[in-house]
Amino acid sequence: MDTRPHQISFIATLKRAIPANLNLADEVSELLEISADSAYRRLRGETDITLEEMVLLAKTYNISLDSALMSSSKMVSFRTNELSTEISGFADYLSVLHSDLRWIRQWPNAQITYAAEDLPVFYHFFFPQLARFKMVYWNKSILGNTQLNSAFVEDVHIPDSWRSEVPKIIEVFSQMPSVEIWHEDTLKSTLKQIEYYALVGYFKQKDTLNSLMVELENLINMVKMQAEHGYKFNPMSQSFLETPFDMYASEVMIGNNCVLLNSDVQNATYISYNTFNFIQTKNDTFNHQTIEWTKNLLSKSNRISEVSEIGRAKYFNRQLQQIEDLRQRLLL
């Protein structure tokens, strides 16, 4: 059997996977512990790459072997996060968010396209009380962390490993151009989560609930300002950045959170599951389908960034009214 087409396909995928500032032959030589000449022969297809060598390269550069070797197959491989019920394990999830943003940002014209069934995960991290609530909710109610069973939200100690990752995520996300597609119900799941915790008594103080309402309003106003100006805004420094921001209000249900990290060189699709976790693929065929799906969704959406002042005001006023309605139910 002629294995060269598979090797050529794998090498092409490998070239796209490594950072542009690295020399592929040097990387292969060092990782496989072979000479530079042997590395070049493998890259040119003159010498076979063994299965063990492919596996090592694939693991190191986060490549799906089946996607790389079977580009014409209808089988698609996804990477997933192995989240545990241990409170320390959540740091791995945050670390993946950070590293994947850094990975796509190295390529030319990189951007995020976020079809938001729920609030985009990155926004929570700008607001301390909201970030705390979400991380407690995800770990307590979704992952079933037994350490948090009887804990009030206010009493949960946020591990240093979580705290250290959040500023890194904020920094890279703030520098990434974004296109976001929201729906009328994008805010609804977060409001339902807060209401549930209030009704079952997981908040010790009403002040915590009030702080969450205020931060949600600040989040919506943050996104509104971004839509007005077409650039991202940092609420902590109260300043606009030079990072482009584009926003659409969808006329149809989005169905699930779908995130496309795309650039001139590499693409990756992320699809949500189990509430907040995600699966990821770099499969070219699947990414092309995601791009076409996104284009279709955009065609059925109204652009509310920089244009459509009345439509933008109506959309964000409805979002703010949902928060006020919850405040009335829980606090008055």
Is the Cβ–Cβ distance between 166 and 122 less than 8 Å? no
Q: What is the pLDDT of residue 178?
A: 97
Amino acid at 148: L
CA atoms within 13 A on the CB side of 331: 18
CA distance 145 to 162: 15
Task: Give the model's pLDDT for residue 1.
Answer: 44
Q: What is the CATH number of domain 4-69?
A: 1.10.260.40
Q: Are 153 and 204 in contact (CB under 8 A)?
A: yes
Q: What is the mean pLDDT of residues 13-35?
A: 85
Indicate if the pLDDT at residue 71 is higher than 80.
no
Domain boundaries, the chain: 4-69, 79-331
**Would you say residue 21 has pLDDT above 80?**
no
Confidence of residue 191 (pLDDT cuts 50, 70, 90): very high
Are the beta carbons of 88 and 159 closer than 8 angstroms? yes
For 238, other C-beta atoms within 10 Å of its C-beta total: 7
Model confidence at 66, in pLDDT bands (50, 70, 90)? low
Pairwise CA distance, residues 248 & 294, whole Å: 11
Given a cut of 80, whether residue 65 has pLDDT beyond it is: no
State how far the Cα of 260 lies from the Cα of 298, in Å rounded to an integer.
13
Query: What pTM was estimated for this model as a whole?
Result: 0.82
For residue 308, the model assigns a pLDDT of: 85
Measured between alpha carbons, how far is 315 from 332 in angstroms, rounded to an integer?
25
As a whole number, mean pLDDT of residues 256-263 equals 92
- Identity of the residue numbered 131: A
Selection from 64, 79, 73 nearest residue 13 by Cα: 64
Instruction: Reply yes or no on whether the pLDDT at 30 is more than 60.
Output: yes
Residue-wise pLDDT for 207-217, tens only, equals 999 999 999 99
What confidence score (pLDDT) does residue 69 get?
63
Which DSSP string corresponds to 192-251? HHHHHHHHHT--S-HHHHHHHHHHHHHHHHHHHHHHHHTEEEETTTTEEEEEEEEEEEES
Question: Mean of the per-residue pLDDT values for the chain?
Answer: 89
Is residue 110 left, alpha or beta, with left meaning phi > 0 and alpha meaning psi from -120 to 50?
beta
3-state secondary structure 272-299: EECCCEEEEECCHHHHHHHHHHHHHHHH
Report CA-CA distances (Å) from 160 to 49, 139, 157, 168. Answer: 42, 16, 9, 13
Residue 70: its pLDDT value, please?
Answer: 58
Exposure string of 32-71, with b = 16+ CB inside 10 Å and e = fewer, is beeeeebbebbbeeeeebeeebbeebbeebebbbebbbbb
Share of the chain above pLDDT 90, in %: 54
pLDDT at res. 242? 96
- Report the pLDDT value the prediction gives residue 320, as an integer from 0 to 100: 97
- E strand or H helix at 171, and its extent? helix 160-174
Residue 157: what pLDDT? 83
pLDDT recorded at residue 109: 93
> For the packed helices 128-137 and 206-229, what is the interaxial angle rounded to 10 degrees?
110
Name the strand (E) or helix (H) holding 36: helix 36-44
Which residues are paired to 267 by β-bridges?
A: 262
Q: What is the mean pLDDT of residues 262-287?
A: 88
The residue that leads in pLDDT, 159 or 101, is: 101
With a cut of 70, say whether residue 205 has pLDDT above it.
yes
Is the pLDDT confidence value at 88 over 70?
Answer: no
Please report the pLDDT score of residue 213 as a whole number: 95
pLDDT one-digit tens code per residue, 119-168: 999 999 999 999 999 989 998 898 888 888 888 999 988 888 888 899 99
